[in-house]
Amino acid sequence: MAKSVVILGTQWGDEGKGKIVDLLAHDVDAVVRYQGGHNAGHTLVIDGKKTVLHVIPSGVMTERARCLIGNGVVVAPHNLLKEIEGLEARGLDVRSRIGLSPACPVILACHEALDQARERARGKRAIGTTGRGIGPAYEDKVSRHGLRLADLADPQRLADKLDAVIDYHNFLLANYYDAKPVDGDAVRDDAARFGQILKPMFTDVTGDLHELRARGGRILFEGAQGSLLDIDHGTYPFVTSSNTTVGGVLTGAGVGPRDIDYVLGITKAYTTRVGGGPFPTELDDAAGRLMAERGVEFGATTGRPRRCGWLDAVAMRRMVKVNGVTGLCITKLDVLDPFPEVKICVEYEGVEAFPVGAEEWGRVKPVYETLPGWSGTTQGLTDASKLPAGARAYLDRIAELIEAPVHMLSTGPERDANVIFQHPFGH
Ligand code: IMP
């Protein structure tokens, strides 16, 4: 029986991970974020009330689970606090349940300013980032001059390190990007203040996870963004700056491959993408508009409209392999309910090797297989026997093409709207 489960998106994000994490969090002792930052937007609907989380694990809405933020997550202290305060205002006890790795890289105001200045400078080639400073914060981590949460909590260390970082970024902003430098004093004051506020939440996330595992506890790792936005395996450079695929769990939380028992790949029944970059199955027609409208496809973080298209089984098959997916959870199937026919991309015409990056992805021509639609609705279904035959055939074909079994089906935004064929924790 699985004790630790990874939930990650197999597409370009927005597959509906947050809802599934929230659902499975009832069964676990800890929910762990391991990569990304507040670029993520996880929408939960509980008793008709909508909550959007950005960096706090989606397990926070259940009483039991500890919410751990591993060293692989880049943390913007002001944003984290805003999120904590928002949840506290709704009567949730948050601070005692959050555990923050002191090794998390810090996102400062200058990272955000740099992210936005870079995007402006890229013009038509803009990546379409969320503008939250994610890329520049990871750059500072890799170049080894970035600050970590532990630095914020120690006034001497902070004083020793922060000025050089602000100076460097302000130099770039003013002299390379012709942009407004950030107010250094404000950054310094904020960093010192937030460090003291966050310090009581610090914990050795890696140590805690191993202890939990030794005690037989259940752990859920919550991925952010999607596999095709992975810095190594995605549509580079139109990607995010972290490993969104399963390797990110190991480095971003400090667990070994044998500490993962099950990988649940969340896959939308069609495909969406926000921001720029190649998207072979994108639709610029009435079908795409119907998907956007029925699926309410607007970014949870930035409110941008999402691009929509058919399911891409070629890319999915690859992501299933990269992530070692055990089972799939198909989401938003009901969006396709009124379609007279549905398509799946089964091949990339004339392409022998899997695309390396944006240039190769941009040349991909999808070959489609068409399946009949289904009459009747799948919305809100909880009983597998009530699935229309056509919908069942679509799911079976997906499983066959992408070489992974469908273990779950999410049939609406509400927590209980699911068909569970096989529970990831094995019950
Ligand atoms: P960044 O992560 O803000 O640097 O943005 C890089 C790319 O990832 C852009 O195309 C964003 O739209 C995309 N992205 C980042 N976070 C999310 C997410 O949570 N869902 C979907 N796309 C995302």
pLDDT tens digit string along 342-394? 999 999 998 889 999 999 999 999 999 999 999 889 999 999 999 999 999 99
Is the shortest distance between the CB of 132 and ligand 1 below 6 Å? yes
Is the shortest distance between the CB of 240 and ligand 1 below 6 Å? yes
**Closest Cα to atom 11 of ligand 1:** 129
The more confidently predicted of residues 45 and 192 is 192
% of the chain beyond a pLDDT of 90: 88
d(CA 245, CA 233): 8
Which of helix, strand or coil describes residue 246? Answer: coil
Q: Which CATH superfamily is domain 4-102+204-259 in?
A: Adenylosuccinate Synthetase, subunit A, domain 1 (3.40.440.10)
Is the shortest distance between the CB of 16 and ligand 1 below 6 Å? no
The set of long-range contacts for 188-194, using a CB threshold of 8 Å and a minimum separation of 24, is 188/158, 188/162, 188/163, 190/77, 190/78, 190/109, 191/77, 191/106, 191/108, 191/147, 191/152, 191/158, 191/162, 192/152, 192/155, 192/158, 194/77, 194/78, 194/81, 194/152
Is residue 302 scored above 90 in pLDDT?
no
Per CATH, 4-102+204-259 and 109-198 having the same topology is answered no
Q: Which CATH number fits the domain 109-198, given the four candidates 1.10.10.10, 1.10.1380.10, 3.30.310.80, 1.10.300.10?
A: 1.10.300.10
Active site residues: 14, 42
The pTM of this model reads 0.96
Question: Looking at residue 426, what DSSP letter applies?
Answer: -
pLDDT at 421 (0 to 100): 97
pLDDT tens digit string along 79-118? 999 999 999 988 888 999 999 999 999 999 999 999 999 9
% of the chain beyond a pLDDT of 70: 100
Is the shortest distance between the CB of 39 and ligand 1 below 6 Å? yes
Residue 291 · residue 370 · CB < 8 Å: no
pLDDT at 64 (0 to 100): 85
Show me where the domains of the chain are located.
4-102+204-259, 109-198, 267-420
Q: Among 41-45, 382-386, 400-404, which stretch is predicted with the lowest mean pLDDT?
A: 41-45
Spacing, Cα 422 to ligand 1 middle (Å): 31
Spacing, Cα 129 to ligand 1 middle (Å): 5
Residue 278 · residue 361 · CB < 8 Å: yes
**Closest Cα to atom 1 of ligand 1:** 129
Exposed, middle or buried by CB within 10 Å (0-12, 13-18, 19+), for 186?
exposed
Spacing, Cα 23 to ligand 1 middle (Å): 24
For 267-420, give the CATH class.
alpha beta
